[in-house]
């Protein structure tokens, strides 16, 4: 996470807790014992057909080869995601790779990618370290056949 230099860093405790409690909707990609990719996600408690993707990271050495897309699709194929018909994520306007990832996912799933306002800079309490706006990407509806 730290190496990406664009993702918010959370505490080690929160990542440990995440891997214990949300392992069914999260995924790690490894090669020769080295971690190359990670996605943390959860089913929206207010809408159980939505999978919210919190953080996606692929090691710089492995980017551009479809790994993030593959991890997202693996998650969608899991039994726990059988009732998921939408993927949601928030993305900063400047994060082109992430925007391409979610737009590309929509294309591959033969569905739409709807982009709407979500959080704005002023919503973030730490005004000393300005946080970019976050746009909400909603991908779907996703059919079972296209997963
Ligand atoms: C965003 C990120 C996870 C993408 O991982 P990746 O494994 O390289 O993504 P993929 O190879 O699956 O690419 C998916 C799509 O994005 C496009 N893409 C990937 N990197 C890109 C870049 N730097 N610029 C433009 N498009 C890019 C790919 O061409 C592909 O498009 P396609 O579907 O039309 O073929 C990776 O760049 C990363 O870890 N970035 C730092 C952390 C971050 O920003 N995370 C997202 C916010 S939570």
Q: Give the model's pLDDT for residue 6.
A: 76
Question: What superfamily would CATH give domain 2-140?
Answer: Gcn5-related N-acetyltransferase (GNAT) (3.40.630.30)
Nearest Cα to 28, choosing from 16, 20, 40, 10?
40
The answer to whether the CB of 113 falls within 8 A of the CB of 86 is no
Would the CB of 98 count as within 6 Å of ligand 1?
Answer: yes
Testing ligand 1's pocket by substitution, the residue of 101, 108, 113, 135 carrying the most ligand atoms inside 8 A of its CB is: 101
The answer to whether the CB of 104 falls within 8 A of the CB of 69 is yes
Q: Give the model's pLDDT for residue 140.
A: 98
Would the CB of 60 count as within 6 Å of ligand 1?
Answer: no
Would the CB of 49 count as within 6 Å of ligand 1?
Answer: no
> Domain coordinates of the chain in residue numbers?
2-140
Query: In a 3-state reduction of DSSP, which class is residue 36?
Result: strand
Query: In a 3-state reduction of DSSP, which class is residue 140?
Result: strand
Task: Give, for all 147 residues of the chain, the pLDDT tens digit.
Answer: 777 777 778 899 999 999 999 999 999 999 999 999 999 999 999 999 999 999 999 999 999 999 999 999 999 999 999 999 999 999 999 999 999 999 999 999 999 999 999 999 988 887 677 889 999 999 999 999 998
Max Cα distance, the chain (Å): 47
Would the CB of 21 count as within 6 Å of ligand 1?
Answer: no
Would the CB of 96 count as within 6 Å of ligand 1?
Answer: yes
């Amino acid at each position: 996470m730290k190496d990406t230099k664009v993702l918010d860093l959370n505490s080690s405790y929160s990542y440990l807790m995440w891997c214990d409690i949300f392992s069914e909707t999260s995924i790690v990609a490894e090669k020769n014992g080295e971690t190359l990719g990670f996605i943390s996600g959860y089913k929206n408690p207010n809408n159980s057909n939505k999978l919210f993707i919190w953080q996606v990271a692929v090691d710089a050495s492995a980017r551009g080869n479809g790994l993030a897309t593959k991890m997202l699709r693996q998650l969608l194929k899991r039994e726990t995601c059988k009732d998921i018909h939408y993927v949601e994520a928030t993305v900063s306007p400047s994060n082109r790779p992430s925007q391409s990832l979610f737009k590309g996912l929509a294309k591959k799933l033969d569905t739409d990618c709807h982009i709407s306002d979500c959080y704005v800079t002023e919503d973030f309490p730490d005004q000393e370290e300005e946080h970019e706006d976050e746009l909400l990407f909603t991908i779907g509806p996703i059919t079972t056949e296209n997963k």
